[in-house]
Amino acid sequence: MQDVPSLHEVSRDLMGRQRSRGSQALPFLLPAVSILLCFTIFPFLFTVALTFSRVSLVGGLKLQFGGLQNWIRLVQDDRFWNSLGNTLFIVAVAVSVEFILGLGLALLINRPLRGGAFFRTIFILPMALAPIAIGYIWLMIYHETIGPLNVLLERIGLPPVGWVSRRNVAIYSIIITDIWHWTPFMFIVLLAGLQSLPAEILEAAQIDGTSGWQLFRYITFPMLRPTAIAAIILRSLEAFKIVDEIFIITGGGPGVSTESLTLHAYYIGFLSFDLAYGATIAMSLFLLVLVVALSMVRITQRYQRVEV
Amino acid sequence: MWMRVFKAVFIYAALLAWSVFALFPLYWMVIASFKDPLAVSQGPTFIPWVDFQPTLSAWKAILFGIERETIRGPLVNSTVIGLGSTILVVLVGAMAAYGLTRFQIQAGPFRNQDLLFWIVSQRIMPPIVTGLALFMMLRVLGLIDTRTGMILVYTAFNLPLAVWLMHNFFQQIPPDIEEAALVDGASRGRVLWHIVLPVSLPGLVATFLFCLVFAWNEFLLALILTFNRARTMPILIAAQHSQRMIEWWSLSAMSLITIAPVVLITLVLQRYLITNVLAGAGR
C-alpha cells in the first residue's frame, strides 16, 4: 500500500516538475514583456538618444549626434534650476503635510466610531477624481473676484489674497490643491497599516496603563513605521511628476514661479518644439526620481536589517 | 466622564472640519453647474434659492442642446479607450502574474522576483519621459491621435500596477485546487482561464476598476498624443481654458460628468481597498 503514491503526492511531484520548467512561463510573460519593451523601454531609450542629439524638423525628422550640448545647456539654464527647485519644494512641503494630516485622520478614525465608514468615504473621495477637474475646482475657488475664498476672507476682515497672481503665493496655492487631492492617499494607506497592527500588543499596553501619547510614541508608531515609509516613498515618487493641476491653475505662472519639471519639459518639447532639449529636461526628472527611489529602497533595507 | 465627552466632541469636530474641507470644493463645483452666467459673474454666491436662483440651462445645453455634439466624441473616446485598455491590461497582467507565481523562472541571473521588480518598477517612469518619444513613434506608426494608439499606451501605463495587484491575489490562492486539473491533463492556459481567474474574481474586479480610474483620469499622455479624433474628456475640459472667458457653469457640468463614474467606483471600492489591497502593502 505504501508503494503506491497518493494522488496528492503525484500532483505535488507534477507541480514540482512544472515549476522547475521555467520555459513554460514564457507564453504567459511574453505579452506583458513585449508591451513594456515597445511602449516604455523603447521610448525611454529613444529619449536617452534624443538628449545627445541635434534634431531638425525641416523636411521631416532628422537626428544628428549632438554630443553633450543639451546637457551643458541644461546645467546653465536658470529656468531649469527654477523648475527643479519648484518641484523639490512642492514635493517636500506637500508630502510632509499630507503625511501628518493623513496620519492624524487615520488615528482619529481608527477606533469604534459611529459614522466611521461615512467619514472614511468622504476622506478618500478627492484621491479618485480627475486631476484636470480638480484643477478647475480650485481655479474657481482661488478666483480673485468670483471665487469664494477671498469673499470669506473679506467677511472675517482679512485683505484679499492674489492666490494665483502673486509670485510667492501661487506655489502655495498649488501645494494646498495637492494636499486636498492626496492627503486621502496617506490617510488610506496609514489606516490600512493601523488596522493590520496586532491588537493584542496594543491591548496589553492599554491594560498596563500606558497613556495615549506613550502608546503612540513607543508602540503604535514604531510598528507602523514600515507602512509609513512605504506611503511616503510611493507618494513622493508620484509627486515629483506633478503637472496636471499646475497646467490648469497657473500654467506655471506668474512668470515661471510655479513651473514644475514635467511642465517645463512639456513647454519646451511641444510648444517650442525643441524635442531634444525637452527630452533632456524630462530625462533629468527621470534621474531625479531614480536617485530618490534607489536611496529610499536602501533606507528601507537598512531599516529592515536593523529590525531583524 | 467629562474627559470622555470632551474627547468625543474633539474627535467629531476634527472629522467634521476635514469633511467640510474635503467636500466644499466639490459642493462649489456642483452649485456652479446650476448657476447662470450672471449669477457667476456677479461674485460668489453660496446657497441655491437663498442667494442665487439655480437653473438647469448648463445641464440642458450639455445633455440635449448645443454642447451635446462637443461632448459626445470625447465621452465616447474616454469610454472606449478606458474600457479597451483596462480589459487588455487585466488579461495581459493576469497572464504575467500567473507566469510569475506558478513557474520558477531563471533567465541568466534573473529570477521571478527580479522580473516582478522590473515590471513593477516601471510605474515610477515619468510619463513625460516616454511621452516625447511616443509622440514620434506613434506618428511613424500612424497611430497618433487614434483610439488604438491610446489603448496600447494606457495598457503599458497600467501594466505595472495590474501585475503587482494580480501577483498579490494569485499568491493567496492555494495551488492545490489547480493540481487536480493539471493531473487530469488540462493545460496551464485552461487552468488560468477556468480555475484561477474565476476564483480570484474579486481581485480581478478591483484591479479592473483601479486601472480604469487611472486610464479615465489620465491627462498628460492624452495631451501629447491626441489632438482631435481621439481626444478624451480631460483634454476637452482642459481646452475650455484657452477660451477667452471660461464658461464656469458648462465647465462644471462637464467636469461632473467626468468625475461621476469615478465617484461611483470609489464608493464600491473603498471597503475593498483597505481590507484586501493595502493590508499587506507595508510588508
Give the per-residue pLDDT at A22: 65
Same domain, A47 and A86: no
* Number of alpha carbons in the 13 Å side-chain half-sphere of residue B250: 24
Same domain, A135 and A35: no
> Which residues 168-187 of A have a C-beta within 8 angstroms of B?
180, 184
The answer to whether B129 touches B157, Cβ cutoff 8 Å, is: no
Q: From CA A164, how far away is CA A159, in angstroms rounded?
A: 15
Would residue A56 count as lying in a domain?
A: no
Task: Quote the DSSP letter at residue B64.
Answer: T
Predicted confidence (pLDDT) at residue A20 exceeds the cutoff of 50: no
Would residue A241 count as lying in a domain?
A: yes
Would residue A100 count as lying in a domain?
A: yes
Instruction: Classify strands B106-107 and A53-56 as parallel, antiparallel or unpaired.
Output: unpaired
Give the per-residue pLDDT at B281: 46
Confidence of residue A4 (pLDDT cuts 50, 70, 90): low
Q: From CA B255, how far away is CA B20, in angstroms rounded?
A: 20
Taking the complete model, does pTM exceed 0.90, yes or no? no
Q: Which domains does chain B have, with CATH numbers?
A: 72-277 (1.10.3720.10)
Residue of A nearest to B183 (CA): A11
Task: Report the pLDDT averaged over residues B14-42.
Answer: 88
Residue A41 burial (CB count, 10 A)? 16
Tell whether A105 lies on the interface with B, counting CB pairs under 8 A: yes
Minimal C-alpha gap between B246 and chain A (Å)? 10
C-alpha cell at position B163: 501585475
Confidence of residue B277 (pLDDT cuts 50, 70, 90): low
Q: Which residues are registered as beta bridge partners of A64? A: A54
Minimal C-alpha gap between B169 and chain A (Å)? 17
Q: Which residues contact B259 (CB under 8 A, 6 or more apart)?
A: A129, A130, A133
Would residue A60 count as lying in a domain?
A: no
Tell whether B20 lies on the interface with A, counting CB pairs under 8 A: no
The answer to which of A87-101, A290-304, B23-37 has the lowest mean pLDDT is A290-304
How confident is the model over A210-259, as pLDDT tens digits? 777 888 888 888 888 888 888 898 899 999 999 999 999 999 889 899 99
Same domain, A166 and A45: no
Would residue A130 count as lying in a domain?
A: yes
How confident is the model over B156-211, as pLDDT tens digits? 999 999 999 898 888 888 878 788 888 887 888 888 888 888 888 888 888 898 89
ipTM of this complex prediction, to 2 decimal places: 0.88
* CB-CB neighbors (< 8 A) of B78 in chain A: none
Same domain, A171 and A46: no
Would residue A58 count as lying in a domain?
A: no
Distance in Å from the first CA to the final CA of chain A: 46
Q: Which domain holds residue A208?
A: 73-307
Predicted confidence (pLDDT) at residue B116 exceeds the cutoff of 50: yes
Q: From CA B258, how far away is CA B234, in angstroms rounded?
A: 8
Q: Which residue has the higher pLDDT, A116 or A1?
A: A116
Comparing CA positions, the residue from B256, B234, B255, B251 lying closest to residue B37 is B251
Predicted confidence (pLDDT) at residue A300 exceeds the cutoff of 80: no
The answer to whether A32 touches B159, Cβ cutoff 8 Å, is: yes
Count of helices and strands (H, E) across chain B: 14, 2
Would residue A173 count as lying in a domain?
A: yes
Same domain, A113 and A183: yes
Same domain, A21 and A105: no
Would residue A111 count as lying in a domain?
A: yes
Tell whether A301 lies on the interface with B, counting CB pairs under 8 A: no
Give the per-residue pLDDT at A18: 47
Same domain, A118 and A180: yes
Same domain, A44 and A77: no
Tell whether B90 lies on the interface with A, counting CB pairs under 8 A: no
Tell whether A121 lies on the interface with B, counting CB pairs under 8 A: yes
Using CB atoms within 10 A of its CB, is residue B13 exposed (0-12), middle (13-18) or buried (19+)? exposed
The answer to which of A158-167, B22-31, B272-281 has the lowest mean pLDDT is B272-281
Give the per-residue pLDDT at A303: 67
Q: Which residue has the higher pLDDT, A8 or A223?
A: A223
Give the per-residue pLDDT at A304: 62
Percent of chain A's residues with pLDDT above 90: 48
Give the per-residue pLDDT at B85: 96
Confidence of residue B97 (pLDDT cuts 50, 70, 90): very high
Q: Which residues are registered as beta bridge partners of A30? A: none
Same domain, A107 and A190: yes
Q: Domain holding A170: CATH number?
A: 1.10.3720.10
> Which residues 24-83 of A have a C-beta within 8 angstroms of B?
24-29, 31-33, 35-36, 38-40, 42-44, 46-47, 50, 61
How confident is the model over A56-75, as pLDDT tens digits? 777 667 778 888 999 999 99
Give the per-residue pLDDT at A71: 95
Q: In a 3-state reduction of DSSP, which class is residue B106?
A: strand
Angle formed by the axes of helices B201-217 and B68-102, nearest 10°: 140
Predicted confidence (pLDDT) at residue B24 exceeds the cutoff of 90: yes
Its sign, for the CA torsion B184, B188, B189, B193, is positive
Q: From CA B124, how far away is CA B132, in angstroms rounded?
A: 17
Q: Which residue has the higher pLDDT, B37 or A47?
A: A47
Confidence of residue A137 (pLDDT cuts 50, 70, 90): very high
Into how many domains does chain A fold?
A: 2
Residue B16 burial (CB count, 10 A)? 13
Same domain, A182 and A220: yes
Q: In a 3-state reduction of DSSP, which class is residue A243?
A: coil
Using CB atoms within 10 A of its CB, is residue B283 exposed (0-12), middle (13-18) or buried (19+)? exposed
Give the per-residue pLDDT at A80: 95
Same domain, A35 and A156: no
Same domain, A110 and A244: yes
pLDDT, averaged across chain B? 86
Give the per-residue pLDDT at A78: 94
Give the per-residue pLDDT at A281: 96
